[in-house]
Amino acid sequence: MKNPFRFEALYSVKSFYRGLALFTGISFIACSGCHKKEKETSEKVEFKEIISVSKDKPEQEQPLETAPVEPKQAEPEQPAQILKTQEPPSLRTKSEVVSPVTAQNLYVEGVDLLNHGQFDEAIDAFNKAIELDDTFIEAHKKKAQIYDRRGMTNEALGSLKKAVALDPNDAEAFLDLGNIYLKKHMTDDAIGALEKYVSLYPKNDKAYYNLGCLYSKKNLPDKTIRAYQTAIRLNPKNVDASYNLGVMYNNREMFDDAIQIFQKILTLKPDDHDARYNLAFAYNRKGLFDDATATCEKLLELDPGNANAHLLIGDSYNKQGKTKEAQEEFDIYKQLIFVK
């Protein structure tokens, strides 16, 4: 979403919020309220899954092979008399032991099918596991994962809601739930799910970044700033969170803070043209016109067609009383805009 600033001279400058990072999955999703270019991503924060592997089924005992026992004939006491002997009872084979199929067995089977891309069969296995044990949370979550991959968001929501109802402290389920809400543009529900997630697992900088984007969309600047600050505290190299925070500082005319954060971004990512432009903007509004001009000139070395850089230089010259130089920059700006 474009977020225009305005100069005192009524020349608008554009800055942008960066889009959501989606933790996927499954996925890590675009936020239309973010301040940078809205780039849609499918990634979401992956948790290392611990898959419970059932013990191997006990091997069935093989029946004993018995050969017929020939009855021994008693020695005749008299040549003409043969005594009959009873045949020994035949040996019995041990009955085969059949292990019952458990919900865990079916879950493991479903995971294997899922890993091999056999989604219909995997869902069938998970459903059978749930039939045996309706409280099997992981089976519900795996079903949601498959539904999400197939774009069946309503079904995914149903499975995840079941999971969090069974375990209100399942952080991963709330994260997945938040990502589904994001895809469905259900902002309030996404905020609720992600707030619950970070209350259970407060170490994920991308979750706080997404919350910052959502708070911004709801026009909650204080919460927006705190969310971005937390994301940066957890991961000082989260450039997108730093950028959006800098834009918030510019919006609120906190130019010293904006200058500091955009300078930091450029040490991490020197080719970030938007950060360099916003740094120049902060210099301009702070009254540091020479710094603003120098920053824009550096930007034009890296991005010669940047019309807004010429506009900002022109405004800086104009505020310094350099009318001729300012007009030249404004003319270049107009030429570039019309070419585009």
Q: Quick: pLDDT tens for 236-256.
A: 999 999 999 999 999 999 999
Range name among 36-40, 49-53, 112-116, 268-272 with the lowest pLDDT average: 49-53
Assess if residue 287 is contained within a domain: yes
Q: End-to-end alpha-carbon separation of the chain, Å?
A: 19
Assess if residue 319 is contained within a domain: yes
pLDDT tens digits, one per residue of 134-168: 999 999 999 999 999 999 999 999 999 999 999 99
The 3-state DSSP composition of the chain as helix, strand, coil percent (nearest 5) reads 55, 5, 40
Domain that holds residue 307: 270-340
Mean pLDDT value across residues 18-29:
46
Longest dimension (CA), the chain: 146
Separation CA 182–CA 20 (nearest Å): 9
Structurally, the chain folds into a number of domains equal to 1
Assess if residue 294 is contained within a domain: yes
Strand pairing report for 12-16 and 2-6? antiparallel
Q: Which residues of 310-323 are buried (b: 16+ CB within 10 A; e: fewer)?
A: bbbbbbbbbbeebe
Q: Any idea what DSSP says for residue 13? A: E
Assess if residue 104 is contained within a domain: no
Q: What is the pLDDT of residue 99?
A: 78
> Given a cut of 80, is residue 182 above it in pLDDT?
yes
Pairs from 63-69 (Cβ < 8 Å, separation ≥ 24): 63/93, 63/94, 63/96, 64/91, 64/93, 64/94, 66/90, 66/91, 66/93
Assess if residue 296 is contained within a domain: yes
- Closest by CA to 15, choosing from 26, 6, 23, 24, is 6
List the CATH number of the domain containing 330.
1.25.40.10
Assess if residue 263 is contained within a domain: no
Mean pLDDT value across residues 267-288:
97
Residue 92: phi, psi to the nearest 5? Answer: -90, 145
The structure's pTM equals: 0.72
Separation CA 338–CA 340 (nearest Å): 5
Assess if residue 300 is contained within a domain: yes
Separation CA 143–CA 206 (nearest Å): 24
Q: Is 5 helix (H, G, I), strand (E, B) or coil?
A: strand
Q: What is the pLDDT of residue 131?
A: 96
Assess if residue 308 is contained within a domain: yes
pLDDT band for position 18 (50/70/90)? Answer: low
